[in-house]
Structure 1
């Protein structure tokens, strides 16, 4: 039964008038996630209107094959559009593979494997014809068999949460999930006429680009506040908070002068233990997805220099006993000592105990645990960051040894002054943290609006017109 929906509303301010409109008549789509669709739109299985194929071309270079460039999983997962600005991976392929999987303008590529079923079928749109770039392994390539379906419309359809939920249900696997090809080919899609598809795609390109620009501006603003935060901490832990204090040379070029009454000590003279964890697999054990004893990894130490319980990893009692040397204590300082996030640091609080850690994380246990927060803050100074950089780049892979950490120079003063400085930092950074939190929430709302906008427009709940401004976002 068709329903009439002739509503059209106007909203605006003195600068602008925007029309929000819907289609005059709707009909049931017969697909639960879609609901009603405009009366003149069609519904059809993807396989009847598009070619869907899984690529089997991997990143290997095989002698005798033709050199090509490979659009791989990460290229698709992290980007909405594929163009010639990419630094594609070099590989080889047969003449038949090149002919079959060459990228053409309007192709939609989707990820067909993932670690979780809710993170699958992520789409990207190919923006130009390529003569030497082909679709890589773990991807599906989709292109229209006829002009009735436009790639830029199908791309936006794949971006809707409702449409994507079909693939979440269809994904198979235990530790890694994959999409059978038939789950893609058998999916039912909705199709407006070609002119509407073009209008919808162009409209969404324009609006999402404006939203993305606004989000990027807000992210840059957050970066500026983070720089201000880092500068406040650096000034306080290397110069103190008394502007009239007498200074003396620290003896270290990139540290400069420090207050005259402060002293410097190597970290190893302030600690009971400087050590690192062990990978359970080296003793025949494994990391679990649930349990009572947390197993903290580098990814649990955040860029904000705090320790998170997420993602959650655990070990059993027996493994913890075997790894008792690296059993963690309250107020231990954890620092990432390997990989791209080297130098991230956090203080361990009792809420995360009992816990242990792996070989990519160093734990520092102080003789005087009351100084844990001071050491944590000092590790955020430009001086320590420079020290970590110089110590880590000497190896082929970024890496910090326990010996080098123990030899870090630490600036100290009396405990009462330390507490005053910590209080000053907390007051000053609280204002910045609150501002950053507010901006992050604004970014979340913009991202939610972006998702809702794509869904409402591409499923026909809102009609695109020249003055369209769905959901009342007049500033966009």
Structure 2
């Protein structure tokens, strides 16, 4: 629906801001005397501690545009005394150093955490005489992001820094305090409605992906013939499989190796023509391009080896969902030591094995060394139990699944597009309200 405009507007005298309501002001942050605090760098463990345990925030605590205090790490005992700046209620938590897309990212702390401290890459900001939620919504607008982009500097295009002086020069359109509260309350109501719709769409994607995984799982463990006699595979997580299928260890049917990393201090090993794969690039997709490339000299003088198209890569370690993922080389390439390179023999169709390892992902992630990341190694990979249908049957399964899976991918893409449109609507609504392009003062809570 359309929202009403203010009765009258004036020129803001700021070209990129345009017109604002006649009774609004345009102020630099420094005129509002914001209180900016910063933490210090402390050593911390990888785990998320229980409430009450001294901890330091990760910069990821504001990546989503919300403040998430659960994104924190336990401070080691020796450094607790050095921790500074506990989180206070009603403060903006701002990332002052990050990638171009995330520097300046902000969230609002709505309660105090005396045991949760800021690192040196986060600020805690209180803008005097400004409703904290109004200030927060301002940080979610394009006019704020444009100012961040113009103000940031850095020697690397991948890491930018926002100085306090530049931050204090930011322009903020300011209505009176009562109106700030009305705008914040309106946006709370309306963004909550949109967020509920987004959450429903995200849940639909999860359900579609679960159904997709179930189709893969059934095909690669039960086959395409519903009348085939079954037998116990002897492997608990596999259950029953067709009676004429074999079950064995992956290492019996493949040659499995790892790659390596050439000396970073030798420039002649880098920026060549040979793609060099890292674990983050192993993502259930065929691998054509890589972020980094190595030279022929690196192949000759280091333990790197050239892998052929059709080689299956598995991420042996990595944070989050990386460990256990697979992807297939579509070009000649090398890989680092965190990847297992799997070459199948004549009994295994590599595409079938790729699909099977996709089904086996959760089981694979349960394996590994007892470290913070539960790293895998070649021994674990070679001992992984796999099913081996007759080769012709593998080919039938490989031919059958893509068409089935494309239908799921199409549905998921449609839902993602809907989410994008909802997020655009959310951002546009916030920007319009915070810059005075719509007048929400007389709107009832029932506004849809």
Q: TM-score, normalising length from structure 1?
A: 0.82
Distance 1:446 1:396 in 2: 37
Aligned to 1:112: 96
Aligned to 1:7: none
Query: Alpha-carbon deviation of 1:188?
Result: 1.7
Aligned to 1:73: 59
Residues 52 and 428 of structure 1: CA distance in aligned 2, closer, same or farther (over 3 Å):
same
Aligned to 2:316: 337
Aligned to 1:258: 241
Distance 1:313 1:475 in 2: 51
Query: Alpha-carbon deviation of 1:47?
Result: 0.6
Among 151, 167, 174, the alignment partner of 1:191 is 174
Aligned to 2:48: none
Aligned to 1:92: 80
Aligned to 1:228: 211
Residues 349 and 200 of structure 1: CA distance in aligned 2, closer, same or farther (over 3 Å):
same
Query: Alpha-carbon deviation of 1:371?
Result: 0.7
- The alignment status of 1:268 with 2:268, answered yes or no, reads no
Structure-to-structure mapping, 1:292-311, within 5 angstroms: 292-302=273-283, 305-307=284-286
Secondary structure of the residue aligned to 1:368 is coil
2:96–2:103 contact (8 Å) kept in structure 1: yes
Distance 1:475 1:286 in 2: 64
1:276–1:326 contact (8 Å) kept in structure 2: no
2:12–2:26 contact (8 Å) kept in structure 1: yes
Aligned to 2:47: none
- The alignment status of 1:277 with 2:259, answered yes or no, reads yes
Q: 1:213-267 CA distances to partner (integer Å, 9 max, x unpaired)?
A: 2212221221111111111111111111111111233232332222222223432
Aligned to 2:152: 171
Aligned to 1:202: 185
2:288–2:329 contact (8 Å) kept in structure 1: no
Distance 1:166 1:370 in 2: 56
Aligned to 2:335: 357
Aligned to 2:428: 452
Residues 106 and 393 of structure 1: CA distance in aligned 2, closer, same or farther (over 3 Å):
same
Distance 1:391 1:430 in 2: 31
- The alignment status of 1:155 with 2:136, answered yes or no, reads yes
Structure-to-structure mapping, 1:54-65, within 5 angstroms: 54-60=37-43
Distance 2:114 2:239 in 1: 56
Q: 1:276-303 CA distances to partner (integer Å, 9 max, x unpaired)?
A: 1212346745996x7633222111122x
- The alignment status of 1:51 with 2:29, answered yes or no, reads no
Distance 1:276 1:143 in 2: 51
Distance 2:259 2:447 in 1: 52
Please identify, of 159-168 and 128-137, the stretch whose mean Cα deviation from structure 2 is larger: 128-137
Query: Alpha-carbon deviation of 1:169?
Result: 2.1
Secondary structure of the residue aligned to 1:245 is coil
Tell me the matched-pair count: 433
Distance 2:301 2:412 in 1: 42
Please identify, of 410-419 and 20-29, the stretch whose mean Cα deviation from structure 2 is larger: 410-419
Please identify, of 51-60 and 442-451, the stretch whose mean Cα deviation from structure 2 is larger: 51-60
Aligned to 1:418: 394
Q: TM-score, normalising length from structure 2?
A: 0.86
- The alignment status of 1:347 with 2:333, answered yes or no, reads no
2:91–2:126 contact (8 Å) kept in structure 1: yes
Residues 88 and 28 of structure 1: CA distance in aligned 2, closer, same or farther (over 3 Å):
farther
Residues 49 and 428 of structure 1: CA distance in aligned 2, closer, same or farther (over 3 Å):
same
Structure 2: tracts of 5 or more residues without a match: 45-52
Distance 1:279 1:435 in 2: 40
Distance 1:34 1:265 in 2: 66
Distance 1:118 1:23 in 2: 33
Distance 2:304 2:54 in 1: 50
1:33–1:163 contact (8 Å) kept in structure 2: no
Please identify, of 406-415 and 200-209, the stretch whose mean Cα deviation from structure 2 is larger: 406-415
Distance 1:226 1:419 in 2: 23
Secondary structure of the residue aligned to 1:20 is coil
Distance 2:269 2:18 in 1: 43
Distance 2:16 2:266 in 1: 46
1:54–1:181 contact (8 Å) kept in structure 2: no
Query: Alpha-carbon deviation of 1:204?
Result: 1.2
Distance 1:317 1:448 in 2: 47
RMSD: 3.0
Structure-to-structure mapping, 1:382-401, within 5 angstroms: 382=360, 385-386=362-363, 388-393=364-369, 397-401=373-377
